[in-house]
Amino acid sequence: MLAAIGAIMVFLWFLWLLSRRKLYIASWQLPGPPALLPIIGNGFTFMCPATDVLKQLLKITEPYPSPLRLWIGPRLVTFIKDPDQLQKVMQSSKYTVKSDVYRFLEPFMGKGLFTLTGPRHKVQRKLLQPLFGPRVLESVSAMFQKHALNLVQTLEDQVGSGCFDVLHSLHQSAFEATVDILLENANTDNPDYKLIPGYVRRFYHIFSQRVSTFWLHSGLLYRLSAYYKEQQMMVELASKCIEEVASQQLPEILKRKEGATKCCQTRSTPSVLEIMVELFKENPASLTEEEFKDHMMTFFATSQDTQSSALAFTLMMLGMHKDIQNKVLQELQEVLDGRQLVTLEDAAKLKYMEMCINEAMRLFPVGPFLPRDVAQSFKLGNTTIPEGSSIILGIFNVHRDPNHWQKPEEFYPEHFAEEEIAQRHPYAFLPFSAGPRRCIAQQYSYVNMKIIIGQILIKYEINCPFTLRSMELMTDVSIRPIAGYLVQIFNRC
């Protein structure tokens, strides 16, 4: 009897291996770190504190040329860090789709633009693109100014009082701005609201912990973990708050819109919610009520941490490099010519400041590694990357590759001088990703970040007590410096 069960098990095991033969053939053709244990592969490498996972990934991929292979659990993963190969993968939605792990974000974002895949994504992306276009930018830039000035005022308490974590203030301000811009509601005094920015951050933390711990990929095991309970509590509270604001605002917006055909005729600053209502009314077949809600939650969750983190790193870098900070200030003063408010037109002229933001995002990209799944086998160099395997796009690696950057480990804004950009591979710098899944809000973010940095620098001098090297020793590769985003500020005389 036992022998029969054993024989059946061996036969099933053999069938399983046979069904995966294309994965094994591809893996033999690719270089990569030894993965001697069956099922677990290189998975052991990632059994470490959450703060070390990204460093571990860099360490094991560093010695091998691109593309290279990893076995993460039973999953074959091709790691790509060459700009030509990144371009091939990122430009096409035929071969790859967003990784299956993005479904872990669905409890918060539903099937919004970030998590959607396939033809539905294409339709929705086209529909929503105007939300971040020039017409909207023109009107929301006044909101950017308003919240940048509020932030400057809040920072007053920190003047001359030693080091503080600037990310905390940036998060709070980004949250208030997001609720105002997305939902037309500036009243964030509700004590429940105040918890949401922390919840959004914790949700991302749980997400990355789940992605890097392969047994938590199973829905069943995840439900048994403490993370699940915590996630449910946070998601419920956050969506309740957002839904409450939206349901209070919607009747008001609909009343305003009665008789008007275009949003700019109804209010000088149309909120994203108002434009969404307009889109919804114009395209009832393409945008369902559920999708409408999911997109709002998605914009809410994607707009805060991304900009705050890029801003915090830029401020730290400027605080470490006083000569560069002075150059940014000089450009700002020339553009403003005695005025105190940074406008949309000014933002377009702040070229050197943009070089600094880019350089901070090069060193510390918000998305250092982007996962994809292979939907259709395709050739990459001499290897066929098989359907059913996964890909990791090594954005962090290409951002620090000495083949593309003169001073890869330094903060050197001249990397973004026009002549440097012209000579460089376009896929060597990918802070907003690229191709059909690139960030929808790139321009929007640049304008907002420039207005915030401009308003801060007019008022304060920034200092950061670290060197880049000492700070990097304390980061978990881009996501956050473990000690906090510490800066000091002083009034400019």
Could you list the residues known to form a binding site, using ranges. 439
Q: What whole-number distance in Å separates Cα of residue 330 and Cα of residue 488?
A: 20
Size of the site for ligand HEM (CB under 6 A): 22
Which residue lies nearer to ligand HEM by CB, 212 or 298?
298
Among 306, 314, 325, 478, binds ligand HEM (CB under 6 A): 306
Burial (0-12, 13-18, 19+ Cβ within 10 Å), 134: exposed
Q: Using CB atoms, what's the residue nearest to ligand HEM? A: 439
Q: At closest approach, how far in Å is the CB of 273 from ligand HEM?
A: 12
Q: Coil, strand, or helix at residue 294?
A: helix
Q: Could you tell me which of 37, 72, 24, 55 has the C-alpha nearest to residue 390?
A: 72
End-to-end CA distance of the chain: 88
Which residue lies nearer to ligand HEM by CB, 193 or 444?
444
Q: What whole-number distance in Å separates Cα of residue 246 and Cα of residue 280?
A: 14
Q: What whole-number distance in Å separates Cα of residue 412 and Cα of residue 405?
A: 10
Burial (0-12, 13-18, 19+ Cβ within 10 Å), 153: exposed
Q: At closest approach, how far in Å is the CB of 304 from ligand HEM?
A: 8
Among 20, 103, 125, 267, binds ligand HEM (CB under 6 A): 125
Q: What whole-number distance in Å separates Cα of residue 100 and Cα of residue 390?
A: 9
Q: What whole-number distance in Å separates Cα of residue 148 and Cα of residue 167?
A: 14
Which residue lies nearer to ligand HEM by CB, 206 or 211?
211
Residues 361-420 that bind ligand HEM (CB under 6 A): 366-367, 370
Residue 108 neighbours by CB under 8 Å, 6+ apart: 200, 203, 235, 238, 239, 297, 301
The region of 21-29, 66-74, 300-308, 480-488 touching ligand HEM under the rule CB under 6 A is 300-308
The answer to whether the beta carbons of residues 383 and 29 sit under 8 Å apart is yes
Q: At closest approach, how far in Å is the CB of 83 from ligand HEM?
A: 16
Among 79, 104, 108, 114, binds ligand HEM (CB under 6 A): 114
Structure tokens at 8: 């059946």
Residue 206 neighbours by CB under 8 Å, 6+ apart: 227, 230, 231
Q: What whole-number distance in Å separates Cα of residue 176 and Cα of residue 178?
A: 5
Residues 19-58 that bind ligand HEM (CB under 6 A): none
Among 169, 231, 298, 478, binds ligand HEM (CB under 6 A): 298
Rule CB under 6 A: is residue 303 a binding residue for ligand HEM? yes
The region of 183-191, 303-311, 328-336, 465-473 touching ligand HEM under the rule CB under 6 A is 303-311
Which residue lies nearer to ligand HEM by CB, 23 or 182?
182
The region of 27-35, 249-257, 258-266, 438-446 touching ligand HEM under the rule CB under 6 A is 438-446
Which residue lies nearer to ligand HEM by CB, 447 or 489?
447
Neighbouring CB atoms inside 10 A of 320's CB total 20
Q: At closest approach, how far in Å is the CB of 294 from ligand HEM?
A: 11
Which residue lies nearer to ligand HEM by CB, 124 or 488?
124
Among 42, 213, 302, 314, binds ligand HEM (CB under 6 A): 302
Among 249, 307, 389, 475, binds ligand HEM (CB under 6 A): 307
Site string for ligand HEM, 57-96 (x = CB under 6 A): ----------------------------------------
Which residue lies nearer to ligand HEM by CB, 41 or 83?
83
Q: Examine residue 67 and say whether the peptide bond preceding it is cis (omega within 30 degrees of 0).
A: yes
Q: Could you tell me which of 447, 485, 430 has the C-alpha nearest to residue 354?
A: 447
Residues 180-219 that bind ligand HEM (CB under 6 A): none
Q: What whole-number distance in Å separates Cα of residue 176 and Cα of residue 185?
A: 9
CA distances from 173 to 185, 262, 357, 480 (A): 14, 30, 19, 18
Rule CB under 6 A: is residue 310 a binding residue for ligand HEM? yes
Q: At closest approach, how far in Å is the CB of 44 from ligand HEM?
A: 26
Q: At closest approach, how far in Å is the CB of 174 from ligand HEM?
A: 9
Q: What whole-number distance in Å separates Cα of residue 380 and Cα of residue 392?
A: 14
Binding-site positions for heme read 439
Task: Report which DSSP code applies to 199.
Answer: H
Rule CB under 6 A: is residue 299 a binding residue for ligand HEM? yes
Structure tokens at 257: 């819109």
Q: Where does this chain bind ligand HEM (CB under 6 A)?
A: 113-114, 125, 298-299, 302-303, 306-307, 310, 366-367, 370, 431-433, 437, 439-441, 444-445
